[in-house]
Structure 1
Amino acid sequence: MPMSRRSALGLAAASAAAALVPPTGAEAQQTSYANPVVWQDFADVEVIRVGAEFYMTASTMHYSPGAPVLRSRDLVNWEFIGHSVPSLDFGAKYDLNGARGYVRGIWASTIAHRPAEQRFYWLGQIDFARSYMYTATNPAGPWTRHAELARAYYDAGMLVDTDGTMYVAYGNTQISVAQLSADGRSEVRNQQVFSTPSSIGTLEGARFYKINGNYYIFLTRPANGQYILKSSSPWGPYELRQVLLDMPGPISGGGVPHQGALVSTPTGAWHYMAFVDAYPGGRMPALAPITWTADGWPQVTTAGGAWGATYPFPNLTPAPVPSLIGTDTFTASTLAAKWEWNHNPDHTKWTTGAGLRLQTATVTNDLYSARNTLTHRIQGPSSTATVELDLAEMRDGDRTGLAMLRDASAWIGVKRDAGTLRAVMVDGLTMDAGWNTTGTGTERASADLCTTRIWLRAAADIRPGAGRQAVFSYSTDGVNFLGLGPAFTLNSNWTFFMGYRFAVFNHAASALGGAVTVDRFTVATP
């Protein structure tokens, strides 16, 4: 995995409050787009096209459900439609039961479509030790998990050949190809096809293509390069070309665009969707046009030698999609696909439809060990989350709130003790390099409450670089907000792989039985 990389949750495409906004006026005449095309944390992306629609998947590590599926009709405007992995059913640690799965789970995986049976396939490796195939006839789900494959395919890239044969390219430094059985659930042949020269170092993050009769394995050199292999046979021999190395990226302070996928439009134009390391926010998808040399090698279209901050809009009509942000009032019977839990939730302890009711599911003083913490990606370069909470069912010892969640975390929320409610700001929640808790938090500020309804707010600056901050505030009327506690400096180190997320939590420090209701959650940009 490159150093930069990297069930009951509903498969609804958007929240009940999200509105489909058709392009009008200047938007309808859109002639260019800006990078990143999605300023949210979607790592290790793969993009495929099926007919006139594009689908994208990404790594989600310990978040559940895993492997989001996003859809677009123009490669620029994307919407959530579901998840390929409905639940992280890979052991008790993913239930926060005796262990934890932080920075494990869903790493670089692959999605493909098999036209002959109109079926989607998702393949991923879990814990470096095993791989699973999931299938669906609708990319929004439901997805079905099949038996564990006999081999662990590290950083897999699937290819469905023109005759329907399925192949997987995978590996780190030593790149192999496997041919799968007709149903995609077992292996019938395996062969190493390439060994990375020591002068390059590591190649991984495979994507596998057949283009104009040639086979290509697209590989990343983490975290600053991209290479490609080409052959007339899936089994090689393969030639190697450098696609990019140390190319300046489109996000100020961010890294080199790399990894990701190649994809064509219905009219034959090609694009490369990479990601850009942009911590503390995570890894952001960026799109660039691709041209091909006369002898069949891809070239990135640059702007002054760099990956462009803007490019001409693809030769596609801008298409309406629900916003990736906005307000959710939790009136639908399932959660929207933009929501992901920190590890698998206890499904007996939450409901939605009349607001999101979160019963306490864990007795702990450690947020990192608390179940049923619900997360939302942060919109860059800066955005604000506001959550409205009904506290009437809290019990003594309960803690609820809105967190900036990562391996160094802070939160604003409410503690109930001895029948009294207090608004509090807490920081100092930390993990070590093994993702074990080293700090459960220090209360930095508090204010007595005489109401059972509160609005909590976190404003986050996730532009890449050190020293970025989040600030917390609260309100008892939803209009007037008071700052609480010091600004929280975000951790911009890459090693947790995932970027910061907004997170709503409710856990018990004494005994189960309490609950809160989330009546509204809004993510807005300045």
Structure 2
Amino acid sequence: MLNADWSDPDAVRVGKYFYLTVSTFNRIPGLPVLRSIDLVNWTIIGHALTELEPKDHFSVPRHGGGVWAPALRHHDGKFWIFYPDPDFGIFVVTATDPRGPWSKPHPVKLGKGLIDPCPLWDDDGQTYLIHAWAKSRSGINNRLTLHRMSPDGTSVLDEGRIVVNGDELLGYRTLEGPKLYKRDGWYWIFAPAGGVKYGWQSAFRSRGIWGPYEDRIVLEQGNSPINGPHQGAWVTTAGGEDWFLHFQDRDAYGRVVHLQPMRWRADGWPVMGTDDGTGRGTPVLVYTKPRVDGRVKVTAPATSDEFTGPELGNQWVWQANANSAWWSLRRFPSRLRLVCWPSPDTHDLRLLPNVLGQRLPAETFTATTSMTLSTTTPGARAGLVMLGDTYCWVGLYRDGDRIVLACRTAAKDAPEVDAATPVPVPRGRGPVRLRVTVTSGAVCQFAANVDGHGFVPVGAPFQATPGRWIGATVGLFATGPQHTTPGSAAEFDWFRVRPGS
């Protein structure tokens, strides 16, 4: 229901609206907040995180770091997001309005390897926080730790206790992503296990919050094409329907979000998707959407941007903490101006913070832009990029005393090389139109229109690849060598995405 990289989703219903947030890793702004009436049609309404801390640490891309799986809750008239940074600890941000402003991140528990937190405010006034562990930072994983927490959500009150140890459960590995609930006197932990690509969703229940917990697998791939169906949110509609949101890892497309019907069996356990008779659900491919009052407008998170607003669209993210000097929006005519920001240490776009991108919006699509490049500095460049562990870009490059159309690519852990022979631009600085067409399997074909006579393919087809825990990014960039002339910049007239190929 969200066919893009909305990883590790968590959601709540408040009144007639559902709200959703996801992990964003090194991308900024982080913790997007999406809103829906029917769990199917979603709109981005803002972000809860404007920068990552420590600020200096995140001034460059920290691939695989930053914001891991968050938990979104509504309590005491406020929205709460608890999120982990695996290198620093667990943090919380709050807001009375989900569109913001949100509070600055407050540390709840500091330490390495603390991931996937989730709070629970119990009926008796006690408050708890559960979390998992990242072996890459802490040396342990496959277990869930529970703390008593202050009611204001600012700190844990004890050393914590392991309430579920996956090492003691037959076949369990990489138990993580817990979500803590209470229903009819039972404490429930919904948690994925088995790994991102091929894991499953388990449920754990106990009459006491400290356990002991019994477990059951409640959703797995079965005979469906949906691999690794797990890690998400249980929500209930105003009419009493239960649903479960989860992700599926699809390589370059990232972790796309599915919606499963959920029901409670006679034996008291939940099952998601289609019940095979044993309580193990299989993902559905087609299903009647949730029933809500009134007609619902068909919407999806924004992709195209005409650059006519006062700010960039909510779909755009940077690779690290952003600097306002990198960009501006011109009003007459409306354009996005990206400064050819000097990068003295590297020309590798994977290592530069000032790449502006967004999630791949569909399995097949075309993204097109129109741009000019104004610079006298040899080596300054700007263009349209498909970026992951590998990348490819097409755009304009200052080569000596001329500006050329260039297409360059970089293999994993390798420097850029030409993917096509540079071609002089007839009108010097442009404008030129650039395009990338993405077909099934995330195969990309770049093209350019430099003379107004139509698009011509540039370079060979390029296989997009995911980044570290994220899907590939399609976006725009402008950069230059250390001594780039002041005023060097690229201007983009618009960015338009069309579904299909």
TM-score (norm 1): 0.84
**Alignment-mate amino acid for residue 409 of structure 1:** Y
Structure 1 unaligned residues grouped into runs of 5+: 1-36, 432-437
**Residue 133 (structure 1) aligned with residue 133 (structure 2):** no
Asked if 2 retains the 8 angstrom alpha-carbon contact of 1:45 and 1:275, the reply is: yes
1:224/1:247 contact within 8 Å kept: no
Corresponding position of 2:135: none
Question: Whole-Å Cα distance in 2 between the matches of residues 475 and 131 of structure 1?
Answer: 48
Asked if 1:181 corresponds to 2:150, the answer is yes
Runs of 4+ in 1 over 4 A off after TM superposition: 162-165
Separation of aligned partners in 2, 1:379 and 1:478:
28
Shift of 1:164: 5.9
What one-letter code is carried by the residue in structure 2 that aligns with 1:194?
V
Q: Structure 1 residue 215 and structure 2 residue 187: aligned?
A: yes
1:4 is matched with none
Moved more, 210-219 or 473-482: 473-482
Report the aligned-residue RMSD. Answer: 2.2
In the alignment, the residues of structure 2 paired with residue 238 and residue 478 of structure 1 have an alpha-carbon distance, to the nearest angstrom, of 67
1:52-451 matches, within 5 Å, as 52-96=16-60, 100-114=61-75, 116=76, 118-152=77-111, 153-162=114-123, 165-171=126-132, 172-189=141-158, 190-196=160-166, 197-202=168-173, 203-221=175-193, 222=195, 223-249=198-224, 252=225, 255-302=227-274, 306-317=282-293, 318-320=295-297, 322-354=299-331, 355-363=335-343, 364-393=346-375, 395-431=377-413, 438-451=414-427
Report deviation, 1:229: 0.9
Instruction: Determine if contact 1:86/1:143 at 8 Å carries over to the other structure.
Output: no
Matching residue's letter, 1:400 = A
- 2:63 maps to a residue whose letter is Y
Q: Distance in 1 between matches of 2:376 and 2:308?
A: 22
Deviation by residue 1:339-393 (Cα, 9 ceiling, x = unmatched): 1111122222211253221112232422122232101111221111111113235
Equivalent-residue separation in structure 1 for 2:228 and 2:425 (angstroms):
48
Change (3 A) 1:429 1:402: farther
Q: Does 1:456 align with 2:434?
A: yes
TM-fit CA distance, 1:119: 0.8
List per-residue Cα deviations over 1:11-41 (Å, max 9, x = no partner): xxxxxxxxxxxxxxxxxxxxxxxxxx11111
Structure 1 position 151, deviation (Å): 3.8
Q: Which residue of 2 aligns with 1:483?
A: 457
Structure 2 letter corresponding to 1:457: R
Identity of aligned residues (%): 30
Q: Which amino acid aligns with 2:450?
A: T
How far residue 477 of structure 1 moved from its aligned partner, in angstroms, is: 6.0
Q: Is the 8 A contact 1:169 1:217 kept in 2?
A: no
Query: Is contact 2:408-2:416 (8 Å) kept?
Result: no
Q: Which residue of 1 aligns with 2:136?
A: none
Distance in structure 2 (CA, Å) of the matches to 1:404 and 1:441? 15
Q: Give the Å deviation of 1:145.
A: 1.8
Amino acid at match of 1:439: P
Question: More displaced, 317-326 or 449-458?
Answer: 317-326
Distance in 2, Cα, partners of 1:479 & 1:111: 50
TM-score normalised by the chain length of structure 2:
0.88
Match of 1:23 in 2: none
Equivalent residue pairs, number:
470
Q: Any gaps of 5 or more consecutive residues in structure 2?
A: 133-140
Indicate the structure whose relative CO is greater, using CA pairs within 8 Å and at least 6 residues apart.
1
Q: Provide the rounded CA distance (Å) in 1 between the counterparts of 2:12 and 2:62.
A: 29
1:504 to 476, 498, 501: 476
Contact 1:247–1:257 (CA<8 Å) still a contact in 2?
no
Contact 1:79 1:321 in 2 (8 A): no
Distance 1:70 1:353, change over 3 A: farther
Give the Cα–Cα distance (whole angstroms) in 2 for the partners of residues 394 and 320 of structure 1.
Answer: 49
The answer (yes or no) to whether the contact 2:302–2:313 under 8 Å persists in 1 is no
* Residues 272, 289 of structure 1: 8 Å contact kept: yes
Question: Using the alignment, how far apart are the partners of 2:452 and 2:256 within structure 1?
Answer: 32
